Amino acid sequence: MNQKHPLSLLSSGKLLVSPSVLAADFADLGHEIHKIQEAGADMVHLDVMDAHFVPNLSIGPGLIACLRKHTELPFDVHLMMTDPLNYIEAFSKAGADHITFHVECSSDIQKTIQAIHSCGCSAGITLKPGTSVETLLPWLPQIELVLVMTVEPGFGGQSFMPEQLKKVEFLHHYFKQQTFAFHRPHIQVDGGLGEENVRQAARAGANCIVAGTSVFRSPHGTATAVEILHAAQEELAR
């Protein structure tokens, strides 16, 4: 099994950039991974879709295992799957360092969190835009990351939904009021993020930015795109 680099090792006080491979050139993924590593990305975001939970089909453990050979950056794996519990071990063995799954899935939430941790990965939980953020409250003390979707999950290149930042603000204030055994969980946002709205997300309390199109297809180049996202650190809510 690969040595893990769970997100609990990364400070929640730093703005982290996790480029989404979904927007990369799939014919040259090894090179694309090298580009974001050289650009200073903090991790690699890998979207896994099962064509059932969302109407799209993407990648599986085999491709992740191949990509694992190209970088030591943490692999931030987002499972958009109906039954993620059945696949936790497979994705961990493929090289996942962190695994996020949906609160709306059919798997037992508690067992899924435990399975992720037992594989040495950090655990995250997420929700669709139409799901209330309060749904997550029972699980927050047990996880290392909360992902707020700012688009409907399933496809890249969608428009940012600014109203979803209310969930980010809620989580930021909630975490400030709580005492956690180790560290404050990361708040991640995913969907339509780029130069025009990353500072807005950081001010709301998000410290982890997932960006696909704005990084891999930036007219300014990958390095500048990542630099622009990191610059939102100065706006990060404390």
- Asked whether the beta carbons of 153 and 161 are under 8 A apart, the reply is no
Q: How far apart are CA 207 and CA 189, in angstroms?
A: 8
From residue 111, alpha-carbon distances to 74, 91, 117 in Å are 23, 16, 10
- Torsion sign over Cα 104, 108, 112, 114: positive
Nearest to 143 by CA among 12, 1, 233: 12
Q: Of 42, 76, 97, 190, which residue is the catalytic one?
A: 190
CA distances from 101 to 136, 141, 222 (A): 12, 16, 28
The closest alpha carbon to 7, from 66, 53, 73, belongs to 73
**Residues 190, 149 contacting (CB under 8 angstroms):** yes
Alpha-carbon gap, residue 148 to 191, rounded angstroms: 9
Whether 190 sits among the annotated catalytic residues: the reply is: yes
- The single residue of 25, 28, 47, 83 carrying the catalytic annotation is 47
**What are the tokens at 209?**
């930015």
| Active site annotation includes 47 | yes
Residues marked active site are found at 47, 190
